[in-house]
Structure 1
């Protein structure tokens, strides 16, 4: 069983914030499949799906971001998942510009508290992650306030596009493997200057 976990914070006040891009990606995948993420188990909202011929659990931990590892560890145990080959975690990345995506097979948390929790709970960094850029084109004074403030209207088109791309990346991972997804999606944003 493959586990696709999107990180975020529960609660309507966090729904459309940068920190919830993982949740929003899971919602986009479920919507594309005509599913609802409504089963409660392992401290998460979940749904079963088949993507690329593979049985999948889509999950949104309800532990709040900083305790995501508790839920992910329970999901891995419940489904006897091999962390290295079965787990994909989707989350926001302040070090990448809004609208960009990077897929990695291992690595540090880079200061992301949800990832730090998962790394600690699983005692390994060897699992697939899809990092979705949220960095604005201007300097931010308070990163905590920034990630918990809803997207501005002017950003919604880019957010919609990255959610589609992330959903597509999950499908490619499941159909063709992580290497194919990295080759296809780990590109620098198009140069808008035309040069």
Structure 2
């Protein structure tokens, strides 16, 4: 069974904050699959789904972001997952990426993200698949990415409710995250990275195809 974990903070006050993009992504997958994240196991809200022809457990840790790894490690043990690098996918927010973008990576450092730090620490490795959901400022007019500009007040920004127009952009991104997860499951991570690690308006991207 594959384990797909969205990182975030439990509680209605955090529901629509940038830091909960991972929770929102897992919720979107659950909604599209017609299930509710209502079961509790491994210190997380979970639901079983069939995605990309595979059995998947969706999970939202209830440990708060900084202790996400405790839940992920508990679920890995419970599901008897031996190959974390292939069978675990973690979805989380990335301040350094502009809102509207996603990036798939097979490993990487935390870069200041306490949830990622906790997961790597609990699993004892940075070799796990992650889909990073951009929540930083949109790309600038000259094409440079503006995500880094909010770093100074990052913690306040990440835990503040998103504005209506930001949520509208994120809503489209969540569908893209689900498609990326499905492609990882059906065609492999290399194919998914080739498809989704490009800018939304790049030729060949899903968004570019839809506009044509």
Q: Structure 1 length normalisation: TM-score?
A: 0.95
Partner secondary structure for residue 129 of structure 1: strand
- Aligned with residue 199 of structure 2, among 164, 173, 188: 188
Q: Aligned runs of 1:40-119 on 2, under 5 Å?
A: 40-81=40-81, 82-119=83-120
| Mapped partners of 1:128, 1:24: distance in 2 | 18
1:2 aligns with 2:13: no
Could you tell me how far 1:73 is from its partner in structure 2?
0.3
Q: Structure 2 length normalisation: TM-score?
A: 0.87
1:36 aligns with 2:36: yes
| Mapped partners of 2:100, 2:114: distance in 1 | 21
1:172 aligns with 2:157: no
- Runs of 4+ more than 2 Å apart: 137-141, 188-191
Give RMSD over aligned pairs.
1.1
Could you tell me how far 1:42 is from its partner in structure 2?
0.5
Aligned length: 191
Q: 1:50-89, CA deviations, whole angstroms, 9 ceiling, x for partnerless residues?
A: 1111110000000000000000000000001121110000
Match for residue 210 of structure 2?
none
| Mapped partners of 1:153, 1:47: distance in 2 | 28
1:125 aligns with 2:136: no
1:11 aligns with 2:11: yes
Whose relative contact order is higher, 1 or 2, with alpha carbons under 8 Å and at least 6 apart?
1
Could you tell me how far 1:188 is from its partner in structure 2?
2.2
Match for residue 209 of structure 2?
none
* Structure 2: segments with no counterpart, 5+ residues: 139-145, 203-212
| Mapped partners of 2:167, 2:64: distance in 1 | 24
Partner secondary structure for residue 88 of structure 1: strand
* Structure 1: segments with no counterpart, 5+ residues: none
Q: 1:121-155, CA deviations, whole angstroms, 9 ceiling, x for partnerless residues?
A: 01101110000001124733411110001110121
| Mapped partners of 1:115, 1:170: distance in 2 | 18
Of 68-77 and 171-180, the range deviating more from structure 2: 171-180
